[in-house]
Amino acid sequence: MMKRLLAMAMLCLWIGGAQAQNDKLAELMSEREQLVLEYQFYNQQNSNFWGKKSKNDLLNIIETLKKIINTDSELIGAIKEASIKKIAQSTVENQREGKITVEDQRIINARIADLQSQIKTLQVEVKKRERSIKDLEAQLVAGEELRYGKDKVIAILAVAAFVLLLYAIFLQVRLNNKATPKPRKKKVQ
């Protein structure tokens, strides 16, 4: 009787923990999907004067990618936690029952290998995202340098045009002064 009651209590705790873990993974996956949609939205924006990505667009992309990386890290942690719990729980149950068989051990090893491969895949995705963030930051810096150079050229040309305008006005005034004869004073006798 006591064994059945203990077994029922363990089963209830296990089911409750599994549902909470699945809810957390589902929440993280939906959050990641939202962030990916946000990334795609910002990546399609070309609101710069020249029809390219503006500084704000690139900053939004970088922030979104950082959030995706953080979410991926949380997913990896949750998967690791879930896999450790599953492995620990199955091992404890098998040891309590005393019925650990070679087939069960193979299943556990296959699960571990599968989860490890998933973890490696997610880590590769995280590294790709970090590389893309670095590339976007490099593009941002290059864009700033290019825009600064263009702004400097525009400023120099504006000053040159202003100087030419002043020179043209000066020449016009000088030409008008030479063209109009000065009235001669009459000598009083």
The DSSP letter of residue 45 is -
pTM for the complete prediction?
Answer: 0.38
- Give residue 1's pLDDT: 47
What is the chain's mean pLDDT, rounded? Answer: 81
| Separation between Cα atoms, residue 15 and residue 9, nearest integer Å | 10
| Separation between Cα atoms, residue 58 and residue 144, nearest integer Å | 12
Instruction: Tell me the mean pLDDT in the region 1-26.
Output: 59
Dmax (CA) for the chain in angstroms is: 149
Instruction: Tell me the mean pLDDT in the region 27-43.
Output: 87
The DSSP letter of residue 182 is P
- Name the band, by pLDDT with cuts 50, 70 and 90, for residue 48: low
SS3 content of the chain, % helix, strand, coil (to 5): 85, 0, 15
Residue 102: C-alpha distances to residues 13, 59, 85, 105 (Å): 27, 54, 21, 5
